Amino acid sequence: MRHPEFEAKIDDYLLGRLDEEDAGRFENHYFDCPECFRLTAERAALQAAVKSAGPAITSPGSAVEARRDRSKTRFAQNPFRWAAAGAMVLGLAAVVLFWPRPGPEPVVLTRNGSDVIRGESLTLITPLGAIPKAPGKFAWNPVAGAAEYTIVVEGVDPTWTVTTRDLFIEVSGENEARFVPGKSYAWQVKAFTTQGIRLATSVKTAFHINR
């Protein structure tokens, strides 16, 4: 059974463009719908292959032709068979998206406030969800090659923007007072190289301070 309204969101889900609530609904759906999960896993594999192809996807050259010829032979003579459905898809997506590899240069992204352009994903650690009091720090996982990170916290007035070379910022003093019990906030982190090239952008994530 097809679910067009779900299928329309597959790309946004995989590219981290859905907000938390929508992403949660999306995930809940594919936990119940094998066909929609299959489409999502297939699309993830397609994205991984496109990223692996890199700039060569629009200008197939000698290196690409050689690789294609080699793979055509492999297709005809030695098709792979795998035991676990989905496990290799996830693995290959991880390899191509987040593993150092030879081949085409990684996508070079420019610092542009209006574009949401991503390379790797950037995972936020804390604060997440409902928390008992104002966060003591904002922390995230590193991105390979990043020299600095810019964090934007929304919901405070004015919006709080900090650039740091660390993987966290501490909240103290007057900044701590900006977080009020009973309110929700959202934050997002972007990673940049020393030249100001954006490498990754996290999903914008919300948290709520309990009363």
Partner 1 sequence: MTRPPGDLDLDEIAVRFRPIIGLKVRRALGWRCPDWEDVTNEVLAQAIAKIRGGEFRGDSSIGTYIYTITSRRIVDYIRDKAKTPYPFPSGTDAPLISDRFAEEERLAELTAAVIGLPPKYREVLDLYYYRELSREETARRIGLTPAQVSERVHYAQKLLRKNLRQAGFPFLPGSDD
- In the bound state with partner 1, the residue whose beta carbon lies nearer, of 12 and 157, is 12
DSSP element (H, E) containing 21? helix 20-32
- In the bound state with partner 1, the residue whose beta carbon lies nearer, of 93 and 151, is 93
Least distance (Å) from partner 1 to the CB of residue 196?
A: 18
- In the bound state with partner 1, the residue whose beta carbon lies nearer, of 73 and 161, is 73
- In the bound state with partner 1, the residue whose beta carbon lies nearer, of 141 and 150, is 141
Least distance (Å) from partner 1 to the CB of residue 75?
A: 4
Alpha-carbon distance of 183 to 133, in angstroms, equals 11
- In the bound state with partner 1, the residue whose beta carbon lies nearer, of 150 and 174, is 150
Least distance (Å) from partner 1 to the CB of residue 39?
A: 8
Least distance (Å) from partner 1 to the CB of residue 134?
A: 15
Least distance (Å) from partner 1 to the CB of residue 199?
A: 12
